[in-house]
A and B are shown apart, each in its own frame.
Chain A
Amino acid sequence: MLNDLLGLVKDFNVLQALGFTVLLTVVGSIGAFIIGTLIAVLRLSPVTALRFFGTAYVNLIRNTPLTIVAFFCVSGLFLAMNWTLLPQGTDIKYQGLAWGCVALAVYHATFVAEAIRSGVNTVPLGQAEAARAIGLPFLGTIREVILPQAMRGAIAPLGNTLIALTKNTTVLSTVSSLELSAAMKNMIEDRPDLLALVFLLIALLFVILTLPVGSFFTHLSKKLVVSR
């Protein structure tokens, strides 16, 4: 049993696949955080057109399956249009992976934006009123008063989004052959006799990836909560 497990890990480059899953998670979440914050600010802005754009982005992307977003980026923009993100000559696998990160960022940005907006809802009215009373303009109010508090209130949903993103990297198995679910597919194909072991191995790796993140964010949200 243990030998089978070690054999699987060695034969199918499971550790490398784990590394790529982590890489996708890190790059995707940084991108999602940047786009999501921008969209959240757009949705709060006093300009109707910008608010409309933010709302449209969230409603359109959020209701589209990630599978479609990933296909659009990888089989559309990359394979059909031959747009590349990494320098020419890079292995096609890595090019696909880079577009996969874009898909993850674009898709999860909507959830980041919603998380931040729910964080903004935790900031009491008086804070914004006080900021306006001392003459801060809109961007000043947002940057100095609202967002710092909203981010603290948004930590728990942001953590959930990060966990979701980690798990959703598996969707990219169709477009890149490098991360954990692709490794699982290969293992199922080559070693159908070890199906249960393969499942437990991959499932356990995801439990190990997501559980600490979950408890860390819960801890953080309790520690950084704005006491009112």
Chain B
Amino acid sequence: MMSDTTSVIFDAPGPRGRLVGRVVGALGLVVVIGLGAMFVWALRDQVLNWDFWARILEPTTWVDYVIPGALNTLKAALLAVVFAGVFGLIFGVMRLSHLKVFSIPAGIIVEFFRAVPVLILMLFFNAIFVAASLGDIAPFWGVVLGLTLYNGSVIAELVRSGVHSLPKGQSEGGQAVGLTRSQILTAILLPQAITAMLPSLLSQFVVVIKDTALGYIINYPDLLRMIQTLYSSGGTMVGLIFAAACYIVINYTMTLFASWVERRLRSRRAGKSVGTGMVPVAGTANTNGRPDA
């Protein structure tokens, strides 16, 4: 899976090289396992306690904590992604506009929300809802609005760079058949740009799911908080490992799905897909590396 990038750096190893490789590999494995075992042993009070692990197997754990928590996480993430998509499309198109009254304010807003940490946005919106004495829904909307503004700005940048990455002939062709600027944008450029953006959008969804865990800090009952509640009477570290495993499963599945979509798009179209890696995305920088394709 990585041979295409790595095999050029070293020769295909000969018999001696393979032997050295195996020895180094075995040594490395021993060191890693040894360090891991030392680590686990040092943490034995916390980690090597079957009672803590047994809790994962109980049905009530899943029914009362994990599934509601995961649903809360996914609910906030999905809503945020939909809102962010709308926000990103509107502001991305505004930034592409030739009218400065649209492009300049849109540029300022997008750059501002990309520079402000998501948690700061969440704290702010949470406090606004609390001040409006809507304390019940404050954490949820704090999470959703914070994620929407940040990720919407990232998507606006994706839209802009997606349109810019299209060959010039596309818009020239539109002009040649007499379309107006907005017709060119909506009928020719955006559909192609959005298809090309799909993989990056999906990996942005992974970023959103991860960032919902920030909702913990403003008391949103997401997956992390539910699992923490479950382990509030001890076994903190087992709880954290369990929570991490849940997030890894969810996110790794999404990442695999994103790279599957990307492969499909690549094989279907002649044009190259923009996205993971080519678009500067501030924030979690998850889109920097192509999800292990």
Which of A50, A164, A184 is close to B284, meaning CB atoms less than 8 Å apart?
A: A164
Residues of B within 8 A of A144 (CB): none
Which of B9, B212, B292 is close to A146, meaning CB atoms less than 8 Å apart?
A: B9
A100 at the interface (CB under 8 A from B): no
Q: Are A63 and B120 in contact (CB-based, < 8 A)?
A: no
Q: Are A167 and B213 in contact (CB-based, < 8 A)?
A: no
B104 at the interface (CB under 8 A from A): no
A interface residues, tally (CB under 8 Å): 70
Known: A160-B280, A206-B116. Is A59-B292 also a contact (CB below 8 A)?
yes
CB distance from B224 to the nearest CB of A (A): 6
Which of B116, B244, B282, B285 is close to A64, meaning CB atoms less than 8 Å apart?
A: B244
Residues of B within 8 A of A34 (CB): none
B interface residues, tally (CB under 8 Å): 65
B102 at the interface (CB under 8 A from A): no
Interface SS majority for chain A: helix
B237 at the interface (CB under 8 A from A): yes
Known: A55-B292, A195-B127. Is A181-B285 also a contact (CB below 8 A)?
no
Segment of B18-26, B82-90, B169-177 in the binding face: B18-26
A-B interface contact total, Cβ < 8 Å: 195
Minimum CB distance partner of B13 in chain A: A46
B29 at the interface (CB under 8 A from A): yes
Enumerate chain B interface residues (CB-CB to A < 8 A): 2, 5-6, 8-11, 13, 17, 21, 24-26, 28-29, 32, 42-43, 45-46, 111-112, 115-120, 123-124, 127-128, 131, 206, 210-214, 216-217, 224, 236-237, 240-241, 243-244, 247-248, 251-252, 255, 277, 280-286, 288-290, 292
Enumerate chain A interface residues (CB-CB to B < 8 A): 43-44, 46-51, 53, 55, 58-60, 62-68, 71-72, 75-77, 80-81, 111, 113-115, 117-118, 120-121, 125, 128-129, 132, 138, 141-142, 146, 156-157, 160-161, 163-164, 167-168, 170-171, 173-174, 180-181, 184-185, 188, 192, 195, 199, 202-203, 206-207, 210-211, 214
